[in-house]
Amino acid sequence: MTDQPNIILINCDDLGYGDLGCYGSQINQTPYLDQMAAEGIRFTDFYMASPVCSPSRGAMLTGCYPPRIGFAEFDGKWVLFPGDALGLNPDENTIASLLKKKEYATKIVGKWHCGDQKEFLPTRHGFDSYYGIPYSNDMGIQSEKDTYPPLPLLLDEKVIQAQPDQASVTERYVEESVRFMRANREQPFFLYFAHMYVHLPIYPPDRFMRESKNGRYGAAVQAIDWSVGVLLYELKQLGLDQNTLVIFTSDNGSRARGEGGSNSPLRGHKGTTWEGGQRVPCLMRWPSQIPAGTTCHEMVTAMDLCPTLAKLGGSEMPKDRIIDGKDISALMRNEEGETSPNDTFFYYRLHNLMAVRSGKWKLHAYSFSPSDRQIVAINQLYDLEADIGETNNVYDQHPEIVDELETKLDICRQDLGDQITGVEGQNLRSVGRVDNPQTLTHYDPDHPYIMAMYDLKDRG
C-alpha cells in the first residue's frame, strides 16, 4: 500500500501563518483546509528558506539553501523577472527529476518562478508537463507605463494565452490538475500545484467575493481552500485517497501593507527575516500513514521536502553535492520519540546572513532598517517557545547561548557566505545563465487580449 505513494504538493503565494482557520484565523473561511488538518498533521514550526518567492521555491525544489544553488539574488534583484538570463541550473536535481527516475508521472500547475528561458522551464527540470504562469501575476501589463510584456499562460514550453482573466485562472488550474490525476491513476504521480493567490493583484471569482468577510484577500484564500477541497474529493472518487500524500504550504509570509493577510502571532512579514517572513503554514495528510489530528512542534523546513519525498518515492539524493534538507518521514508519521533532524536553521536576506535558530533559541544578529535602507547589527536573542512574537530580547541574560549561536553563524558563513561580513562561501554552486535571453511574450496592439490591461494597480 505504501510503495510509491502519489504526492500532491500545494504551494501558495504570500499566504501568511495566521491566514487559515486551523492556524487561528477568525475571518477567512477555510473549511477544507481545516478538515485536512483534522485528518492529518499540522506543523507549527515550518520554515521556507527565504522570505521571497524565487529563492524559496528553488530551495524547496532542490533541498538546498538559496545561496547554495546561486539563488540568493539575481544580478542584484530579489526575484526573477520576465526575460531574465538567470534560472535554476539544469544540473540541479529537483523533487520532480528524482521522482521521475522512479517512473512517476510529474506535473506542475501554476507559478514556477525559477526562470522563464527554455533552459530553465519545468519541462527541463523533471516535469513531464507544465500549465501555468511562469512568474508572479503582477508581472504583466497593469499600466501604460509598464515595461513588462503581456502576462503569459504556458502549456509546457509554449504560450497559449497572454493577459488571461486572472479571476478564472485558479479554476483552470484545478481542472488541469484533475485531468492529470485521472490520466495517471494507474501509476504513481507527483503533482506540484503552485497557486497564484494571494499575490497581488488579487482577482477572485465572484462567488468567493460575495461570500468573503475579508475582501479580496479573504475571497482568494477561500478560492485556495475550495481548490484543495476539489483535489481531496477527486482522490476519493479515484480510490487513491489512502495512499496519497497531500502537502499544503506557502512560499513566504504575508505582505506588510494591510491588504487583509495575517502572520499572527508572528512578528514581521514577507521580505523580512523575522518569523512572519519565513515561518508558514504546513499541513500534511496521508490517511494510511499519518495519524489524524496530530500537531508537530519540531523545527522543519521546506528544504526537507526534497529528500523526504525522494525517499518515499524510492529514489535517492545525489551523493556528489551538499544537500541541506533532511528526511523527515518519521517525524511526518508522528513516530514516538522522533525529533527534528535539523539542529539549526539560518535566515538569509539575499546574500546577507541575518539570523539563526537552534532549538528554541533564535539569535537575530542583523536586521534591515527601512528608514535608512541599511542592514544594522541588533544583537537580539529570543526564546521562541516562550515568545513566539519575538517581543522580549533576552540577549544579555544568556551570553552562553549567544556564544553558541555566534559560532554556528561563523560556520555557516564559511559554508554559504555572508555579504555583511564579506565572507565568501566555500560550497556554492552556480545559477543557470543563458546568452541573449528573450521574454516569452511581446505586446501586439492588434491582438484581441481579453484583459489588455489589468485594472488593479497593486504590486506584490
What DSSP line would sit under 27-45, residue for residue? SS--HHHHHHHHTSEEESS
Superfamily of domain 6-332: Alkaline Phosphatase, subunit A (3.40.720.10)
3-state class of 383 per DSSP? strand
Q: Which cell numbers hold the place of 136?
A: 508572479
3-state class of 310 per DSSP? helix
Domains of the chain by residue range: 6-332, 344-430
pTM: 0.97
Strand order in the sheet with 361-369: 344-349, 352-358, 361-369, 374-383
Whether residue 29 contacts residue 278, with contact meaning beta carbons closer than 8 Å, is answered with no
Q: Which cell numbers hold the place of 368?
A: 534591515
Supply the residues annotated as catalytic.
Answer: 53, 113
CATH topology of domain 344-430: Arylsulfatase, C-terminal domain (3.30.1120)
Distance CA 131, CA 78 (A): 25
Q: What is the DSSP letter of 339?
A: -
Residues whose CB is less than 8 angstroms from the CB of residue 451 and which lie 6 or more positions away in sequence, other chains included: 163, 164, 165, 166
| pLDDT at 257 (0 to 100) | 67
| pLDDT at 371 (0 to 100) | 74
Across the 460 residues of the chain, what is the mean pLDDT of every consecutive 10-residue run?
A: 86 98 97 98 98 98 98 97 98 98 98 98 98 98 90 98 98 98 98 98 97 97 98 98 98 87 96 97 98 97 98 96 98 92 97 98 92 88 98 98 98 98 97 98 96 91
Q: How far apart are the first and last CA of the chain?
A: 43
Grid cell 564579506 in the structure block, residue: 422
Which helix or strand (DSSP H or E) is residue 207 part of?
helix 206-211
Distance CA 135, CA 114 (A): 8
Whether residue 155 contacts residue 210, with contact meaning beta carbons closer than 8 Å, is answered with no
Distance CA 363, CA 358 (A): 9
| pLDDT at 429 (0 to 100) | 98
Q: Where are the alpha helices (DSSP H) in 79-187?
A: 95-100, 166-183
Whether residue 190 contacts residue 313, with contact meaning beta carbons closer than 8 Å, is answered with yes
